[in-house]
Structure 1
Amino acid sequence: MPDYLKRRPDVIPIDCGRQLFVDDFLIEECDMQREFYSPQIKGPVLLPTTPLEMDNGNCPVAAPFKDGAFYDPFDGKFKLWYQAGWFGATAYAESSDGFHWERINTRAGNGTNRVLPYSEGRIRDGCSVWLDLNSIDERYKMFLFTRDPQKREYAELRTSADGMTWSTPTPIMRCGDTTSLFYNPFRDKWVLSVRSLYNREQYLYRYRSYREASTFYELAACQKEYFWQTADVDDARDDIYDCDTQLYSLDCVAYESIVIGLYQIFKGPHNTIAEKLKTPKKCDLYIGFSRDGLQFSRLNRNEFIAGTGACGAWNEGYIHPATGICIINGHELLFYFGAWSGNSPHLGRHMYAGGSTGVAALRRDGFAALVTDNVGRIVTPLVCFEGEGLWVNAQCKSLKAELRDINNRPIKGLTFNDCVCRNIDSTKQQIIWKNPSRLKELTHVPVHIVFEIEQGKLFAFWISKSKSGASGGYLAAGSVQHRGIKDDPYEY
């Protein structure tokens, strides 16, 4: 359990972002149940078809192997970097709607959409791309892992202004092949989630180490690395392979008031066995949440995005999240991921053949909700804020709210009796009292917020400084409705 859940602040500031009920941080009293949800897989959006992706018919791949999926507000495009052909090129595609993708030929691609020129004697493995909206000339950041024929390993950093033409590499200290990159705005740090491993007999066992720096290129000189995360006894073993679970990778992004962590949990078979069976490894995605980007709460151990296990299905197994994790598209979140079928035109079956890009959709803030079939209440701990409106994401027959002082007494003008009770089915709905200006008078005053819900779900709440309902929170891998990394009231 994270320290901030064991020793909660006496008063919790809630000015940054939508407040989600993914843990008990904002729950003092509650007679409702928490439910967790998984996104709905919409299907593949990019299949291997080009010569670059087909790998001469051996291991076709057109899928993020980390790589990255972001929305770029500067040109209004969804952007995807992905692996084209197994251990092949890093390629680029873009979309206007997030579902129909176009491969864009690049200067380095020689008539293809590869973004890095071919390098004799080097093959790519993992890659991780990040869109930095706080930069101009180096808006795109890349971590790349390669090997040479002698299996010597190399790790490097690059930057780009457009995501298609990249700088010369800056070498960095050795990293594992599925190492990935993210920016943590809560700590204002650039972070490498480093693949680490040890050998036990003939098998590999994977866990995660952590490096951070104040600037992107300072990661190159970073010598400090710490044990970070691993799989544990609550990660269920697979019924068939019955392997010890492993943390294959961990990707993170800031979303509203929290950091989302996608845990890629390996359940077998080990590489040598998967090679003999000619089947993709069983790696599924599980969700964790953090309020500092270091310690994570993992109350939900259900699969978040998982392979079907059906032989030859486009998403049979080996599920990889794209760096960036999710894009906000109106009232839903879009998650892009790589998935493998094991189908090879020339080899019949191969553990690394048939990689495609899939997309899954989830309600905005829809990771978890407090749920009641009757009438339920939730009381927050003491919180403080600056703003003029209380907003919710809810789906219920009726909802009303009340503010109470430090002694738990209802505040005049902001009681249940003053609240306009209403049916709500919206990801963004303001709570109205008869005298709404009273809320602004409570700036920086510690209060409890109490919600009463009838027959429904409460996903999130927040205080907005503007009439638009902007939350001031972080926007993951971008939002179609915004130009920056935060839900800024000044954009409306």
Structure 2
Amino acid sequence: MCSATVILLALSLSVMHASTAEAVPIGKGKQLFVDDFIIDSQENLSRILHHPQRYSGNPVLTGTEAWERWLLEVNGRPVLYDEETRQFRMYYGANLDDPTAPSGTRYKVCYAVSKDGVHWTRVPLGQVEWQGSRANNILKWGENWMRRPNVIMDAADPDMRRRFKMTYVDVVNGNAVICKAYSQDGIHWRLNGDGEPVRGGANSNLLGWDPHIGRYVLYPRVAGPPTRAGRSRSDAIGRSISADFVTWSEPEPVLVAEPSDRNRDFKGLAAFLYSDAYLGLLWIFEGEKSAEAELAFSRDGIRWQRVSPGEMFFHQGGPESWDSNGILPVAPVIHGNRIYFYYAGWNVPYTNDTVIKQRNGTSTTIAPPNAALRRVREGWIENGTRKQWAIGLATLRLDGFVSLRAGHAAGALTTKPLEVAGATLAANADVRGELRAEILDEDGNRLPGYGAGDCSPIRSDNMRHLVRWRGKTNVADLRGKHVKLRFTLHDGDLYSFWFE
């Protein structure tokens, strides 16, 4: 699978764009190239969409336990890194038949931890009895279910009992609803503790606390418009906000399928903050055939664009792989110098149809709903391959979503006027040839001492190059001034820049 894709059309988002007469207030945030927000002009540069690289030992977690039975999933925001304990925490789904549960399935959440994000340990919790034993890692569920958990650590909440917050799906009074839960330790939860659920529905993605607006933000799945494929409606992405995590606004649609998407549905948006931008993994379901993810972005969390419509940022696996039928990546974890993308993957049919076709030898039979999942729970092995839902990992370099690439011919990028907010200019770049930077005034004239000839050439791969002019990195004399930056690149990829 290719690790990068050329985006042929330059993106331009009108939201918050400054005119050439105004300085863009970038502060010390990293400036990504998912759009043209800070770009004034560019020459001989291609915008490249990079793809997460799968861990070679995938899947990292499979359903080997009696309460899992080869059916594991992650959904929403189920993984976080705890700086205090220095470990990853994962809240994953394990769903088995139970005639006493709504729809005949007991959706439940299990808990695991990891020091490196690769090797996971199930933590015995003793909260739930399963087949006569409490020796398991199952979290206590709500009235009927605990499904699709979104978990955040909220250090700003003065109430330690609400330090961990969760949204999850339960069935209350016969209806699927999005509920809330609170915990001091992330293990013992007060389920739906403040009464009313967030709203009805079976899927949502929690962004968490948004410091830009001082609100919690949730992206639930909502009804979209009719499709060109003839269906009366499609699935779309909505947005709901809350000041206290208790009372939430009615969701408003923020991302809907285009007419050209035909039979595609937007099943979810795993949104996350990245420096000053909002990014999201848009779950694209192609009817019942495949599930993959595009990369989406926004400058305000409301008006979203797809970086490259129709081009997948995260692909399903190859024909013989464990994730060949579909993948569902969740909000990533940033740790060290990598971005960790966990995802559910499966190699069995995914269907919501009333019936599915199931091959048995040379004949084709009609199977009841969810027959493929029931076969998985029974230990389905075909041609020596385990049929399953499992959890995988893929990673990306910091800021590595999109780059501006130059080949043998030198490329150049000039920014809009920016306000210098730090004492040093840094860049994330993989340079096979050479990268130089110069600082210009608002009219495009080189500032003395900051020309390309004064700049020490960069000729390596580093996620934090410090730009030097005449051997010095200090640009404190320009702090608060409005300048343009001009990067000249030969044979390399520029991922981001920032002041620090």
Normalising TM by the smaller chain, what interval?
0.7 to 0.9
Question: CA contact under 8 A between 1:186 and 1:293: conserved in structure 2?
Answer: no
Specify the alignment match of 1:196 in structure 2: 222
Specify the alignment match of 2:207 in structure 1: 182
Give the letter aligned to residue 51 of structure 1.
Answer: A
Specify the alignment match of 1:22 in structure 2: 34
Q: For each residue in 1:51-97, what CA deviation from the matched residue of structure 2 results, as whole angstroms up to 9, or x when unmatched? A: 1111xxxxx32221335111110110011111012542111111000
Query: Could you tell me the percent identity over the aligned residues?
Result: 25
Question: CA contact under 8 A between 1:232 and 1:245: conserved in structure 2?
Answer: no
Question: CA contact under 8 A between 1:382 and 1:447: conserved in structure 2?
Answer: yes
User: Which of 422, 425, 442 is residue 390 of structure 1 equivalent to?
Assistant: 425
Specify the alignment match of 1:306 in structure 2: 315
CA RMSD of aligned residues (A): 2.5
Question: CA contact under 8 A between 1:153 and 1:174: conserved in structure 2?
Answer: no
CA deviation after TM superposition for structure 1 residue 332, in Å: 2.1
Closer/same/farther in 2, CA of residues 198 and 297 from structure 1, 3 Å limit: closer
Matches within 5 A, 1:130-141: 130-135=152-157, 136-141=160-165
CA deviation after TM superposition for structure 1 residue 191, in Å: 1.2
Q: For 2:78, what is the secondary structure of its paired residue? A: strand
Matches within 5 A, 1:59-98: 60-86=70-96, 87-98=106-117
Q: Report 1 or 2 for greater relative contact order, CA contacts < 8 Å, sequence distance ≥ 6.
A: 1
Question: CA contact under 8 A between 1:284 and 1:319: conserved in structure 2?
Answer: yes
Closer/same/farther in 2, CA of residues 83 and 345 from structure 1, 3 Å limit: closer
Give the unaligned 5+ runs of structure 1.
Answer: 55-59, 238-243, 270-280, 465-492
User: Which of 301, 319, 334 is residue 327 of structure 2 equivalent to?
Assistant: 319
> Do residues 346 (structure 1) and 416 (structure 2) align?
no
Q: For each residue in 1:332-390, what CA deviation from the matched residue of structure 2 results, as whole angstroms up to 9, or x when unmatched? A: 2110111122261538599xx82211111112111111111121110000000321111
Matches within 5 A, 1:23-172: 23-31=35-43, 32-42=45-55, 43-54=58-69, 60-86=70-96, 87-109=106-128, 110-117=134-141, 119=143, 122-135=144-157, 136-147=160-171, 151-169=174-192, 170=194, 171-172=196-197
Closer/same/farther in 2, CA of residues 65 and 349 from structure 1, 3 Å limit: farther
Question: CA contact under 8 A between 1:175 and 1:195: conserved in structure 2?
Answer: no
Give the letter aligned to residue 420 of structure 2.
Answer: F
Question: CA contact under 8 A between 2:424 and 2:466: conserved in structure 1?
Answer: yes
Give the unaligned 5+ runs of structure 2.
Answer: 1-11, 97-105, 129-133, 349-374
Q: For 2:480, what is the secondary structure of its paired residue? A: coil
CA deviation after TM superposition for structure 1 residue 153, in Å: 2.3
Specify the alignment match of 2:411 in structure 1: 376
Q: For 1:94, what is the secondary structure of its paired residue? A: strand
Q: For 1:46, what is the secondary structure of its paired residue? A: coil
Question: CA contact under 8 A between 2:283 and 2:294: conserved in structure 1?
Answer: yes
Q: For 1:252, what is the secondary structure of its paired residue? A: strand
> Do residues 209 (structure 1) and 238 (structure 2) align?
yes
Question: CA contact under 8 A between 2:324 and 2:347: conserved in structure 1?
Answer: yes
CA deviation after TM superposition for structure 1 residue 211, in Å: 0.8
CA deviation after TM superposition for structure 1 residue 117, in Å: 4.4
Specify the alignment match of 1:256 in structure 2: 275
Q: For 1:344, what is the secondary structure of its paired residue? A: helix
Matches within 5 A, 1:220-299: 221-233=247-259, 235=261, 244-269=263-288, 282-299=290-307
Which structure is larger by alpha-carbon Rg, 1 or 2?
A: 2
Closer/same/farther in 2, CA of residues 97 and 76 from structure 1, 3 Å limit: same
Closer/same/farther in 2, CA of residues 61 and 199 from structure 1, 3 Å limit: farther
Closer/same/farther in 2, CA of residues 442 and 6 from structure 1, 3 Å limit: closer
Q: For each residue in 1:258-282, what CA deviation from the matched residue of structure 2 results, as whole angstroms up to 9, or x when unmatched? A: 111110011112xxxxxxxxxxx52
Closer/same/farther in 2, CA of residues 147 and 198 from structure 1, 3 Å limit: farther
What TM-score comes out, normalization by structure 1 length?
Answer: 0.81
> Do residues 434 (structure 1) and 470 (structure 2) align?
yes
* Distance (Å, rounded) in 2 between the aligned partners of 1:437 and 1:392: 12
* Distance (Å, rounded) in 2 between the aligned partners of 1:202 and 1:431: 54
Q: For each residue in 1:415-440, what CA deviation from the matched residue of structure 2 results, as whole angstroms up to 9, or x when unmatched? A: 21221113121111100112747611
Question: CA contact under 8 A between 1:127 and 1:178: conserved in structure 2?
Answer: no
Specify the alignment match of 1:240 in structure 2: none
Closer/same/farther in 2, CA of residues 233 and 118 from structure 1, 3 Å limit: closer
Closer/same/farther in 2, CA of residues 2 and 215 from structure 1, 3 Å limit: farther
Give the letter aligned to residue 84 of structure 1.
Answer: A
Q: For 1:4, what is the secondary structure of its paired residue? A: coil
* Distance (Å, rounded) in 2 between the aligned partners of 1:263 and 1:189: 22
Matches within 5 A, 1:380-459: 380-396=415-431, 397-434=433-470, 436=472, 439-459=475-495
CA deviation after TM superposition for structure 1 residue 257, in Å: 2.3
Specify the alignment match of 2:335 in structure 1: 329
Closer/same/farther in 2, CA of residues 404 and 152 from structure 1, 3 Å limit: same
CA deviation after TM superposition for structure 1 residue 131, in Å: 2.5
Closer/same/farther in 2, CA of residues 36 and 234 from structure 1, 3 Å limit: farther
Q: For each residue in 1:430-462, what CA deviation from the matched residue of structure 2 results, as whole angstroms up to 9, or x when unmatched? A: 001127476111112110011111211111101
Closer/same/farther in 2, CA of residues 25 and 108 from structure 1, 3 Å limit: same
Aligned residues: 430
Question: CA contact under 8 A between 1:8 and 1:25: conserved in structure 2?
Answer: no
Q: For 1:93, what is the secondary structure of its paired residue? A: strand
Closer/same/farther in 2, CA of residues 460 and 188 from structure 1, 3 Å limit: same
Question: CA contact under 8 A between 1:264 and 1:284: conserved in structure 2?
Answer: yes
Deviates more, 1:381-390 or 1:128-137: 128-137
Question: CA contact under 8 A between 1:139 and 1:160: conserved in structure 2?
Answer: yes
* Distance (Å, rounded) in 2 between the aligned partners of 1:199 and 1:21: 31
What TM-score comes out, normalization by structure 2 length?
Answer: 0.80
CA deviation after TM superposition for structure 1 residue 115, in Å: 1.9
